[in-house]
Structure 1
Amino acid sequence: MNSLQIRKAGEEDIKSIAKVYVDGWKTTYDGLVPDNYLESLTYEEAKQKWISFLSSEKDPFIYIADNNEEENIGFAAGKRLDNDKFDGELYALYLLPECRGLGTGRQLVSAIAKHFIEKNMDSMMVWVMEQNKSGLGFYECMGGKEYLRRKSEFGGIAVEDVAYGWEDVSVLCREK
């Protein structure tokens, strides 16, 4: 995968975003949430989720990573927050399993950070399932600082989520 393009997504990309999202959930959270929850995820419901996300009132946006075959291999979504501490939220970051560990996630987070800066938003946060050790490690390596916890429920199982924040997102803006 020698050629990677990060670009802002449009409605025409929703189908590929839904596929990366569902496939990403099924691999990332296998063993962390109940199998029946993962099995219930559908591309059609995911399409509706992301259409709804893009039409929300929080200035939502999505960047996708296309490989040299112009296939969507990952995406990151962001939105404005009504929060005293952080201006924006990295709402989602998903990569196809075979594309993890290659720097694509960092480039997508950088695109989100640059977008926030263009909108005069200097800080951001992200929620990560505590059992998702690779996710926790990724955000820690990127300089995120833990600041909050909450409980979520998936398929009847309660999980602990950890919020990481960056008070200055410019540290995440990096060139390829």
Structure 2
Amino acid sequence: MSDCDALAAIHNEAWLNAYRGLLNGVELQRLVSRRSPGWWKGALDRGVTIKVIEVADEPAGYATYGPCRLQNLAAEGEIYELYLKPEYQGLGFGRTLFGSVRKELKGRNLEGLAVQVLSENQPARNFYRALGGKLGAKTWYRSAGKRFELSIYVWPETTSG
């Protein structure tokens, strides 16, 4: 399986697992279908920073990250996405991936970290709180005519976690 196929599969499985029931089924399928292997090839070609975690030499999850895009936060780095295939959730792989990304951001001299989470996604909110994230702000996202609240978790320093 190519890297792009693997990233698309991880994204699709994680999104369907996380957002089924939170997003309209048709809208969810539309959003998932946008992240085809071709989309991932374009992302890689544009230089999007992606870290993949493997289990038994198979991609199990990924994170995308870089400079913080959010204003007025005590964070210079941001994890844009962190997803695992459902069968690897709750086993410590997300914590490992998160820690690896924090370390890399610190190595780039990006102090502090922010993550945006759909507020209705309680498992993700619990995950980031368990890693020491503090609710720093809330914002909104509009999709298919519906307004969704986003919770922004912050870690002012990247030295632990």
Tell me how far 1:44 sits from its aligned partner: 5.5
Letter in 1 for 2:55: N
Q: Secondary structure, in 3 states, of the residue corresponding to 1:171? A: coil
The answer for the alignment partner of 1:130 in structure 2 is 119
The answer for the alignment partner of 2:106 in structure 1 is 117
- Aligned-residue Cα RMSD (Å) equals 2.0
Provide runs of 4+ in structure 1 moved above 4 Å.
none
User: 1:16 and 2:3 equivalent?
Assistant: no
The answer for the alignment partner of 2:29 in structure 1 is 39
The answer for the alignment partner of 1:151 in structure 2 is 140
How far does the alpha carbon of each residue in 1:87-132 deviate from its partner, in whole angstroms, 9 at most, with x for none? 1111001111111000000000011101111111121100000100
Task: Provide the rounded CA distance (Å) in 1 between the counterparts of 2:140 and 2:112.
Answer: 23
Q: Is the 8 A contact 1:18 1:50 kept in 2?
A: no
Task: Provide the rounded CA distance (Å) in 2 between the counterparts of 1:44 and 1:162.
Answer: 23
Q: Is the 8 A contact 1:36 1:155 kept in 2?
A: no
Task: Provide the rounded CA distance (Å) in 2 between the counterparts of 1:166 and 1:73.
Answer: 25
Q: Percent identity?
A: 25
Q: Is the 8 A contact 1:65 1:74 kept in 2?
A: yes
Q: Secondary structure, in 3 states, of the residue corresponding to 2:160? A: helix
The answer for the alignment partner of 2:39 in structure 1 is 48
Task: Provide the rounded CA distance (Å) in 1 between the counterparts of 2:84 and 2:55.
Answer: 12
Task: Provide the rounded CA distance (Å) in 2 between the counterparts of 1:72 and 1:43.
Answer: 20
Task: Provide the rounded CA distance (Å) in 2 between the counterparts of 1:151 and 1:109.
Answer: 24
Q: Is the 8 A contact 1:34 1:157 kept in 2?
A: no
List alignment gaps of at least 5 residues for structure 1: 1-11
Tell me how far 1:22 sits from its aligned partner: 1.4
Matches within 5 A, 1:27-106: 27-40=17-30, 41-42=32-33, 45=36, 47-48=38-39, 51-52=42-43, 55=46, 60-68=48-56, 70-81=57-68, 83-84=71-72, 85-106=74-95
Q: Is the 8 A contact 1:17 1:47 kept in 2?
A: no
Length, aligned pairs only: 157
Q: Is the 8 A contact 2:68 2:114 kept in 1?
A: no
TM-score (norm 1): 0.81
List alignment gaps of at least 5 residues for structure 2: none
Letter in 1 for 2:51: Y
Q: Is the 8 A contact 1:28 1:132 kept in 2?
A: yes
How far does the alpha carbon of each residue in 1:121-150 deviate from its partner, in whole angstroms, 9 at most, with x for none? 121100000100000000001000111111
Change (3 A) 1:81 1:131: same
Task: Provide the rounded CA distance (Å) in 1 between the counterparts of 2:137 and 2:44.
Answer: 23
